[in-house]
Structure 1
């Protein structure tokens, strides 16, 4: 599938909506916690077991992004979005079959493995294209698109909760909810596939005078980038920031319920789903707000905020969270805004260090940090909570140790960010012409 070239007069502002249609869909992953209690009840699962599809999905996200990053660069965003559509929607359909037949391994296979591939390819599909369309504001551009991934749960969480109320929380109701998800997202993601375009080479975008359509020139190849200390420092930064956020996000609904279970104002199932939606809103707002801020104050400074202030917010939750719902919710919202901002800012950080040449492939390789964090975060929170529950503890005590571990991880990420230095000039090469230009036979006749 050849990359679709933008015709003369095409506005670059049509590209972010194309990216959003994909990212809002695959962002459903952040609403997985809504399905955890029904699955645990219907199929007799523990909290750790019910987290497995989500964990595997995040692992596959990182792996498919790493291995597919070069293919995305080569084949273009439309090919990548099509692959994402097929895999993500098929994952839900397989999961629906698993729930209907009470075969949990099919849910793990469908949502976790097949759907996870769709997550990874879909996540990186617009990044390189957006940076080339918006070389003047890379943080804002990637933030616009990637905020959709954070905001997907804002739609999916209440939507999923309402479906489970209507269809039932037994295995057949869960199966029907999975089926509706798969079909609906297939339609919505098709909009992005049809709309996306890549910039015309060596020209400026019509209607956006003074803005290069495609940023090319010197850069670092993906093969060289992964051998630099800068890459691995950013790997640690992303891994620590994601681990700290994803542990709460994956278990958000049961966590807020447990924190206030022994108080005079317990949290209902509906309110817990609303909390997940609020976290999604913070995740989404952080992706566009903080990444845009990074264009003004710099990438290293914004990560100092994510990691340093984030650790302080965790300390407040650990020490005071169960004493006040507003304090718990506010701190969680700040943490999730930093979590989302970290994702949206990292492509621009990579562009600053390594250039635009193969930045999509480098970004894909860096997302293996997300795979690692996708296992570590939920494992730490769920495993410790299960052990504490077995020991007879309840309420906020289920999570205190996990929260202090997250503070330590953020401190490690803070140090790694401080170690980031500019990439040595010897690693940079001139981008090959074929990487910057589109063959003449692909140019529109009206060019």
Structure 2
């Protein structure tokens, strides 16, 4: 093998953030890359946990109780300094998160492929943490528009770049286990709230004073903590040289038609019907889950009512204060279990897809999801609480598993050369679903209540509609076929794309002494750095979920 060397001291040498500076050298252990990705995803995953701030922020002026103003419009709420914000004003940040995430991932995905994951990770850290700091200023001066701009827009850009930054890199480092690799990283995005929410609650309690609810101080503290972890993750990224493969591994035979050996250029991916079919697959899977998961706590209380508090003959609206607190604790335990299954499903289903194949895994999501949604009204009507909870935990696992499996699905169909950028464009399906799913559930719930349907039955029709969404997703997934050869880049074009990143002779492929062995000592330390916070978050969430079983 012929190996060339990039000399850092030569004129025009690449900067510390450039992609050519992070090409792995012999002796590098590929198991160092997943914890670097997790370090970033665990930080930006706090977007899921922002609801912990809504109640304290709704009394930021009054501190002990909200200072409400009559006839306050949304525009007025953006600039008022004397009225407390309504929760309905604050949750727009949550909507902005996922709209801007999908948009920025689509817009900057091509740049990420050129710039490399380290530069993208650093920009993501500056945007996410800078957005938190700007939000802290907005809270301190009580200007909601600064929170929308800071966390929602600037932070949303950080979310988009941080989310897709490791995808292409991990798929290239683990061609033998694509699903497992992306599952490890994207598991972190689902788990960020498990760590961030209890940490934020502890910080708010520590910073709370008679004149402050402690939120702006918490935002600044989280920004500093997240900046350290995200920068450590970004500088931990390495990319394999083109032509690298794990020692002793050979690509799967060409007979596996759903795994291509070619590469589709970014400019062509969205022109194929396969891209839009997979876009529909992700959009429908997320739409059918995100809306109902978002109302999990009130849904459980409305459906099971007094059964949650040992008084099965009374309904949700008849609870006294003590029963409301008990029911809320049980519902919080339900939400905690859903979070755990959401996280575990990301790793479990993505890893299983390496054996089943991505298309079959999604088929399981849709068939099993339809069955569970159709069974849910029966379980609710029979007051089978344990089975009802289990059904929605499985649905949550497939919701998370869908996110973790989709990058490997794209790599199978479109190749790995531009998979990060293609994944970025596909995330517009997430943005769409983030609006569509909650709107469908909220509108139908309100319509059922207005029609006089008993609270215990208002979700029955909703479950049927969500099952129909999954049935449509099954059809879209069924239609996905291997790409025609005309879509793949010609060898000369592919070689030109890879030339500036290839530190080895273009005629050779092999392990190059990179990625040998299992988890080394440094890799073990890196895994502990991200693993211990995850275990802490899981322990706290599991303890809260135990309320369900008392």
Tell me the TM-score range normalised by the shorter chain.
0.7 to 0.9
Match of 2:213, SS?
helix
The CA distance in 2 between the partners of 1:441 and 1:270, in whole Å, is 57
1:225 to 269, 279, 290: 269
5+ residue gaps, structure 1, are: none
Q: Deviations over 1:363-410 (max 9, x none)?
A: 111111011011112233344445666778785456444433322211
Match of 2:361, SS?
helix
1:192 matches 2:233: yes
> 1:174: which partner in 2?
215
> 1:297: which partner in 2?
356
- Contact 2:345 2:400 (8 Å CA) reproduced: yes
2:52 to 25, 34, 46: 34
1:73 to 1:152, Cα distance in 2 relative to 1, 3 A: same
1:377 to 437, 448, 452: 437
Report the aligned-residue RMSD: 3.1
- Contact 1:62 1:368 (8 Å CA) reproduced: yes
The CA distance in 1 between the partners of 2:226 and 2:49, in whole Å, is 14
- Contact 1:157 1:277 (8 Å CA) reproduced: no
Aligned length: 440
1:25 matches 2:43: yes
1:160 CA displacement: 3.5
After TM superposition, the score normalised by the length of structure 1 is 0.88
- Contact 1:218 1:357 (8 Å CA) reproduced: no
1:143-162 correspondence runs (5 A): 143-162=183-202
1:400 to 1:44, Cα distance in 2 relative to 1, 3 A: farther
Structure number with the higher helix fraction is 1
- Contact 2:241 2:503 (8 Å CA) reproduced: no
Q: Which has the larger radius of gyration?
A: 2
- Contact 2:376 2:388 (8 Å CA) reproduced: yes
1:2 matches 2:43: no
5+ residue gaps, structure 2, are: 1-16, 60-65, 67-83, 252-258, 310-323, 506-512, 515-550
1:75 matches 2:115: yes
1:156 to 1:134, Cα distance in 2 relative to 1, 3 A: same
> 2:532: which partner in 1?
none
1:58 to 98, 110, 114: 98
- Contact 1:34 1:273 (8 Å CA) reproduced: no
1:316 matches 2:332: no
- Contact 1:282 1:334 (8 Å CA) reproduced: yes
1:94 CA displacement: 2.5
Q: Deviations over 1:76-121 (max 9, x none)?
A: 0001111111111122222233333443333322222111111111
1:82 to 1:419, Cα distance in 2 relative to 1, 3 A: same
- Contact 2:241 2:501 (8 Å CA) reproduced: no
The CA distance in 2 between the partners of 1:256 and 1:115, in whole Å, is 32
Higher deviation after alignment, 430-439 or 360-369: 430-439
1:345 CA displacement: 0.9
1:333 to 393, 404, 407: 393
1:304 to 1:40, Cα distance in 2 relative to 1, 3 A: farther
